[in-house]
Chains A and B, each alone.
Chain A
Amino acid sequence: MLRFGDYTPRDSLLHGLDARVKIAASAILSVVALTGGWSGLAALTIAGALSLRGAGLSFKEVLGAMKPLLFFAFLLFTMHAFFHEGRPLIDVTGAGVLAGLYTAWQYLALVAVGIFLTATTPPSELVAGLGRLLRPLERWGVPVGDISFMVAVSLRFIPLLLGEYERLRAARAARGADWEGGVAKRLGLAVGLVIPLLLGAFRRADDLAVAVEARGYGHRAPSSLRGGEMGSPDRRFLAAVASLALVVIVLHHALPLP
């Protein structure tokens, strides 16, 4: 269902941390990846390598989770290397190559942050964590319960939709759907694929609304099953991440490091 870093239950430090802390940490770390320059990326990579054990992950596993996205990273690299300055595809400059490397590394760093998060936290806890993080907004009339509900339902829908899409595509291919030909014909084919997908999805949405209504959904922000409070490991982890971010920002902006 989720494309990378699928959750596997393990007994690691990171697995046991509160989801809210992990979400906040990944937010901070992705900001570091995007604003920390080369030193930021280096710091993240080193920290990541050191944290593998704390997350119960092996290097091979992380690499494996990244594999489907490595192609995209390569694409990012070539795009910058060959299109950076001067004539596209012909002028390859050093600056271009560096820009390409930076962008690709940045992308992989972001992906890695995501892998650490989703590999150590089950989606249900992610949604619950989100709900709890948003709870303070209720004071300003934000319907947090409805939002958590929608996120959870949306997550339920994704594998169902992907499955439907694959089924429809296979069925069309079996009937010899021919994608050659003019624009009009291709549009017709695309429409013929999208419409059944949508109609099936609408039916399911209607049924789900009825079923949820039957189970008494009342727009109340329900208490979560996992009502744990934050402990000292959580606080220490958050402090560590925040310190790392701070160090990186300082290094990057205050010193003439790249």
Chain B
Amino acid sequence: MIVLEGVTFSYDGGPPVLKDVDLSVGEGEYLGLAGPNGCGKTTLAMHLNGLLRPRAGTVTVDGLSVADPSSLRKIRALVGMVFQDPDSQIVGMTVEEDVAFGPLNLGLPPREVRRRLEESLEQVGIAHLRRRSPHTLSGGEKRLVAVAGVLAMRPRYIVFDEPAAFLDQAGRALVLGVMNRLHREGITIVHITHDLADLVAADRLVVMEAGTVTLQGPPPEVFGALMEGEGPLAPPPLARLLWGLKRDGFPVRTDVLTVDGARLTIGALLGGR
């Protein structure tokens, strides 16, 4: 479990970007972290594996504190991060070189490095790209290379910062699909985005605004609160439709947020069979 308590942070003497944030990430959950641009989501993300350390408050990962320099390497192996711009993350000159980068840095013996390389490439489905040069890949493929590189560290948690950014539809589907698969395989996912439509299947949503957490809970609950205007974002169109109908007095369910679920509940309303 990752626990943040009273975390306050500002960059180099500037205004506070995070104000007294309390947050926990449970093992195995799919946590969505959303908020408008500038609310501090990325800054918060970088606290999850000790890339940034809070000015006040504590951050612990499975009991290890980020304030303890000797724990940092272990923490970084536990919490992987996939950044927004894959070009800023890929250092290798071929896909396999990049994916092997992490394990090599851990000082693992060559056979173990090779094993993790193979497994990560398979897990993400990019084994056929292994000899390719990164700049010849598409945006989605690059993102997957970054994911594989993180996976090779065998993390327990993976934080994705705007994983669908800069991708076309095919790329998005690819990446989101891999994220869901990893979650099913037991990895804790923290999905950061400003687009709530990507988070309908999350276990829990956290909404941030101006450096603080304003809403927390399962998506239907959070969407409901957002519909009441309690937060800075609008829920995805489907949720708005269902809530709108509910407000208008129609007996629709608002806890199923997929297209199929909505179809069923609206279909029932229209005098179903």
Contacts and interface: CB of A to CB of B under 8 A. Distances in A.
Nearest to B82: A211
Contacts of A210: 46, 51, 83
Given A124-B94, A159-B135, A208 B88 contact: yes
B92 A218 contact: no
B106 interface: yes
Contact of B93 (A155, A223, A227): A155
Q: Which of A149, A156, A212: most chain B CB closer than 10 A?
A: A156
A159 B258 CA distance: 41
B110 A218 contact: no
A215 B134 CA distance: 18
A152 B49 contact: no
B83 A211 contact: yes
B91 A212 contact: yes
A217 B153 CA distance: 12
Interface stretch (B72-80, B176-184, B192-200): B72-80
A216 B93 contact: no
A208 to B, nearest CB: 5
B233 interface: no
Interface-centre pick from B49, B83, B114 (highest chain A CB count, 10 A): B83
Given A156-B134, A211-B89, A215-B105, 7 more contacts: A9-B131, A123-B93, A123-B133, A124-B92, A208-B88, A211-B81, A220-B107
Nearest to A222: B104
Interface string B85-126: 101111111101100111011110010011001000000000
B153 A216 contact: yes
Interface string A156-184: 10011000000000000000000000000
Contacts of B81: 211, 214
B262 interface: no
A215 B150 contact: yes
A46 interface: no
Contacts, number: 87
Contact of B100 (A127, A208, A225): A225
A215 B76 CA distance: 7
A225 B85 contact: no
B102 to A, nearest CB: 4
Task: For the complex of A and B, list the 10 residue pairs with the smallest distance between their C-beta atoms, beginning with the closest.
Answer: A207-B88, A222-B104, A124-B93, A211-B89, A216-B105, A215-B102, A159-B135, A208-B88, A214-B81, A124-B94
Interface residues of A, number: 30
Nearest to B87: A160
B149 A204 contact: no
17 contacts: A9-B131, A122-B94, A156-B93, A160-B135, A207-B89, A211-B81, A211-B91, A212-B91, A214-B80, A215-B76, A215-B102, A215-B153, A217-B105, A223-B104, A225-B96, A225-B113, A225-B114
B62 to A, nearest CB: 17
A152 B110 contact: no
A27 interface: no
Contacts of A227: 110
A117 B100 CA distance: 25
Nearest to A206: B88
A213 B51 contact: yes
Contacts of B49: 214
Interface in B173-214: none
B106 A216 contact: yes
Contacts of A152: 91-93
A151 to B, nearest CB: 10
Interface in B24-47: 46
Contact of B105 (A122, A127, A160, A220): A220
B146 to A, nearest CB: 8
Given A122-B94, A213-B51, A227-B110, A218 B87 contact: no
